[in-house]
Amino acid sequence: MLKKARIALLALAAGAALTAVAATAPSVAATATAAKPAPASQSPATVPAAPVAVPAAAAPNPVPLLAERSPEYKKPGSTADHGKFKELQKTFKTGPDVTKACLACHTEAGHQVQHTKHWTWAVVNPQNKQNLGKKNVINNYCTSPISNEKDCMACHAGYGWTDGQFDFSKEENVDCLICHDSTGTYRKLPGDAGHPVYERREFPPGSGKFVEAADLTKIAQNVGRPSRRNCGSCHFYGAGGDGTKHGDLDSSLNKPGKYLDVHMDAEGLNFNCSTCHATKGHQVAGSRYQMDAALKGGVHTRGKADESPASCQSCHGNKPHKSKLSLLNDHTEKLACQTCHIPEFARDAIGTEMSWDWSTATKTMAPDGKPILVKDSAGRRSYDSKKGNFVWDSYVIPRYTWFNGKMDYKTLGDKIDPSKVVAINTPGGTAGDPDSRIWPMKVHTGKQAYDPVNKTLIVTHTAGEDETSLWHNFDWKKAIGTGMKAANLPWSGEYGFVSTEMWWPITHMVAPKQDALSCEQCHSDNGRLKGITGVYLPGRDHHRILDLIGGTISLLALLGALIHGGLRCCFIGRKGK
């Protein structure tokens, strides 16, 4: 209706001269550049069940159920049936045995994987040469894998990383199956340093639930392209539980509806992770460690540009909104697509962890001295004697900040200022910078152990069944001693707790367009971008003195007219009498 009225408005102008107006009226021709999804042959209509590994020492946490392979499951249109390969017609005892068989044909795969972050857990920041990657950074959750490798490496794409001596050159230690299993029966549990379950065992211990030994032959004969469940087996469960870490990644993305993710909608476009995170020689595009916050210049379309093909612009281009009349495309100069199109993250009941306070760990135990676990009303961990206090939330409104894609990390041994909240990472970027955009972020807060004398964050030996592990002995000093020794860092022998925060760019769970932010959610006094400085935001910003003067004169003019009119009535009326 409004559109009609607007056409009528233009027709008003046509009153002057019909033909000329028609020529000058703004065209509303569509300029869509959105690409159609990949043909269905690439992604079978039924989602193949995939492996579900429990990544960290999440003993009392909810464990994802084994996904059953759907009866309608059909293999993708591959030219090879691995079930017919001679190399795979045997009984495999261990993961590395399978990998050797894989490498017999896929001769380059081993060293390809060895050059990825999935294998090295390390990356050098090209801007400032900081050593990053899971191996080198301290995070705001489980803090560091160092001295905890046996548990953490349940999510390493490899076998046998138990300590600092891991041999990164052995190709047979590459784990092909964690990404390529299509049966959903391949599981890696904490404590096994990345090996799958070889013998049926109770997990979590004392739960009465058992995890079956992986049938490696069957799994090897049924390998396929990575599905959402393959990627999700680690990336959905980061930091020890479903949805904990990212906020925009959790197991609801295994089979999401359109509301949750317009691209991954199982009934709709049904994208895989790799539809956007396209790989080349096992290198996965779209790393958080090396991201572009703004894409400039030509359209970074697949096949045309070599960088960041995982971005929104790779398919949608730089001017994605259809209407020429619309000023929406102008926003791409200042905003990331995600800012409007991901109005909230963790848009499900799983939610995401917003805070982890380590300072209360070991403080409260059951009367028998055993650790306790308290859950919140939604069944998410709220207190754990081993880990401290947690705060969870769902449907979270992001924090917004200028971001140029460059994160500055606190790495092991960096000095901190304990009088302030320690930023584990700090997003770079400023308002005037052409490489910066306003980005939505999850800000995870917490408290973690630090060395008050040396003023550094601390590596704690948390996981394990040995004499010094925190979760076994509940003795901070012993656990820190072992952790710092393993990390080869000096420790004064003292420890305290410092407030920390960590910033996570939000980029998944893209909502359907009708759920994107409306204009006035930012263009208003108390809007989403209240805290964003360095940009004039119409509807939010005013020149106060100008408004005051203008408004006052307007009122005086009105008042003057009223008085003038009133006096006229008064005088002429009297004269009439």
Partner 1 sequence: MAERIFIFKRFERFWHWSQAVLIISMMITGFEIHGVYKLLGFGQAVSWHTSAAWALLTIWAFAIVWQFTTGEWKQYLPTVKKVDVMIKYYAWDIFSGAPHPFHKSLEHKHNPLQRLAYLAFLAFMSPIVWISGLLYLFYAQWRELGLDRFLSLEDVASFHVVGAFFVLWFLIAHVYLAISGPKEHLRAMITGWEEV
Binding residues for partner 1, per CB under 8 A? 2, 6, 9-10, 12-13, 15-17, 20-21, 24-26, 325-327, 329-330, 333, 518-520, 523-525, 535-536, 538-543, 546-547, 550, 553-554, 557-558, 561, 564-565, 567-568, 571-572, 575
Taking the complex as a whole, the smallest distance from the CB of residue 505 to partner 1 amounts, in Å, to 24
Quote the CA–CA distance of 373 and 364 in Å, as a whole number.
10
What six digits make up the tokens of 231?
């990627």
Rounded CA gap, 407 and 383, in Å?
30
The span from the CA of 212 to the CA of 203, in Å, is 10
| The length of the chain, given as a count of residues | 577
What SS3 state is found at 564? helix
Instruction: Kindly state the tokens that stand for 52.
Output: 């579900």
| C-beta of residue 227 within 8 angstroms of C-beta of residue 185 | no
The residues facing 365 across adjacent strands are 371
Q: How many CB atoms lie within 10 A of CB 566?
A: 10
- Pairing, β 422-423 against β 496-505: parallel
Best CA proximity match to 43, nearest among 82, 67, 76, 72: 76
* Amino acid identity at 381: R
What are the backbone dihedrals phi and psi of residue 555, each rounded to the nearest 5 degrees, phi first? -65, -40
The count of C-alpha atoms lying within 13 angstroms of the C-alpha of 17, restricted to the half-sphere facing its C-beta, is 4
List the structure tokens of 51.
């492996």
**C-alpha to C-alpha distance for 201 and 189, rounded to whole angstroms:** 10
CA nearest to 255, candidates 67, 393, 442: 67
**8 HSE (CA, 13 A, CB side):** 5
Cα(247)–Cα(444) distance, integer angstroms = 10
**One-letter amino acid for residue 79 of the chain:** T
Closest CA to 109 of 153, 64, 175: 175
Give the Cα separation of 372 and 383 in Å (integer).
8
Q: Is 108 left (phi over 0), alpha (psi -120 to 50) or beta?
A: alpha
Residue 426's SS3 state is strand
338 neighbors 248 (Cβ within 8 angstroms)? no
Please tell me the distance from the alpha carbon of residue 573 to that of residue 577, in angstroms, as a whole number.
7
> What is the C-alpha separation between 469 and 465, in angstroms, rounded?
7
Contacts for 292-295 with beta carbons within 8 Å, 24 or more apart? 292/405, 292/435, 293/336, 293/403, 293/404, 293/405, 293/429, 293/435, 293/436, 293/437, 293/439, 293/505, 294/336, 294/404, 294/405, 294/434, 294/435, 294/436, 294/437
Does residue 505 have a cis bond before it (omega within 30 degrees)?
A: no
The tokens 């790779």 sit on which residue? 314
